[in-house]
Amino acid sequence: MPLIRPAETRDLTAITEIYADAVVNSKATWDEVAPDLQSMTAVYAARTAAGFPYFVAEATEGRIIGYVGGSAFHPQTGWRYAIEDSIYVAKGAQRQGIGRSLLEALIEEATARGFRQMIAGISMPGGERSVAFHEALGFRMVGEFKDAGWKQGEWLTAVYMQRALGEGAASAPLPPPDRAAPKN
Ligand SMILES: CC(C)(COP(=O)(O)OP(=O)(O)OC[C@H]1O[C@@H](n2cnc3c(N)ncnc32)[C@H](O)[C@@H]1OP(=O)(O)O)[C@@H](O)C(=O)NCCC(=O)NCCS
């Protein structure tokens, strides 16, 4: 199995390439133009500075073959205990347990940082395996925005899944609600 470790700035070239493949060759993300290294670096820097974890999967020879990152679901401060995951495993490395290891790492670290709910937005059609994957990691379906997206000549529906972290809503957030407002 690859090493799962926190992402570092030096990983951004590989992360940019993995994401670009998903932008150009799939509808998993509704970005239509692949962001360049500079903009991916800016997004990573802003999210990690706001307290969102990022992890990479590093193969034995040092190649980055997948990543997962957290971000705010909405920027308003009341959302500060919710985190949205974005996860991409390189083609050729999928269905080997790497996505599971990455998302488990994000869930564990997000829980430790005080987040209480994790949200996944998945594009349909085409996202069936991501739905199965998130179900395997404890997410349940909560709703959809039908035909809300347009990409590559097709209307797309965003389905949303969610899972509680730690005590979820069973207690008030601890430590007291003093986390900085998350910003994307
Ligand atoms: C979705 C994705 C992250 C899953 O990562 P992965 O490394 O391929 O998944 P894993 O091997 O860790 O699978 C864990 C479990 O998820 C489920 N799962 C994963 N891929 C599946 C598939 N194609 N069909 C059905 N179930 C699947 C299974 O329950 C699997 O456990 P099992 O292999 O023991 O049966 C990966 O396929 C990917 O990067 N896809 C393209 C980008 C994308 O869709 N990202 C998500 C955007 S929301």
Nearest CA to ligand 1 atom 21: 129
User: How would CATH label the architecture of 3-164?
Assistant: 3-Layer(aba) Sandwich (3.40)
Q: Which helix (H) or strand (E) holds 43?
A: helix 37-49
Which of 17, 23, 84, 133 to probe ligand 1 with, by most ligand atoms within 8 A of CB? 133
| pLDDT band at residue 178 using 50, 70 and 90 as cut-offs | very low
- pLDDT tens digits, 40-89: 999 999 999 999 999 999 999 999 999 999 999 999 999 999 999 999 99
Average pLDDT, the chain: 95
Q: Spell out the residues 6+ positions from residue 42 whose beta carbon is closer than 8 angstroms to its own.
A: none
Residue 161 Cβ contacting ligand 1 at under 6 Å? no
Residue (of 50, 56, 100, 55) closest to 79 by Cα position: 50
CA atoms within 13 A on the CB side of 78: 0
| pLDDT band at residue 154 using 50, 70 and 90 as cut-offs | very high
Average pLDDT over residues 19-38: 98
- Give the Cα separation of 34 and 32 in Å (integer): 7
Cβ count within 10 A of residue 80: 23
Nearest CA to ligand 1 atom 5: 99
- Give the Cα separation of 167 and 164 in Å (integer): 7
Residue 1 Cβ contacting ligand 1 at under 6 Å? no
Determine the Cα angle at 82 with ends 77 and 85, to 5°: 125
| In the predicted structure, residue 173 carries a pLDDT above the cut 80 | yes
Cα 128 to ligand 1 centroid, rounded to whole Å: 9
- Give the Cα separation of 52 and 112 in Å (integer): 11
What percentage of the chain carries pLDDT values higher than 90?
Answer: 93
Nearest CA to ligand 1 atom 34: 97
- Look at residue 170 in the predicted model and tell me its pLDDT: 97
Greater confidence (145 vs 1) lies with 145
Greater confidence (180 vs 165) lies with 165
Average pLDDT over residues 127-153: 98
Residue 49 Cβ contacting ligand 1 at under 6 Å? no
Q: Would you state the torsion angle of the CA atoms of residues 95, 98, 101, 106, taken in this order, to the nearest 10 degrees?
A: -110
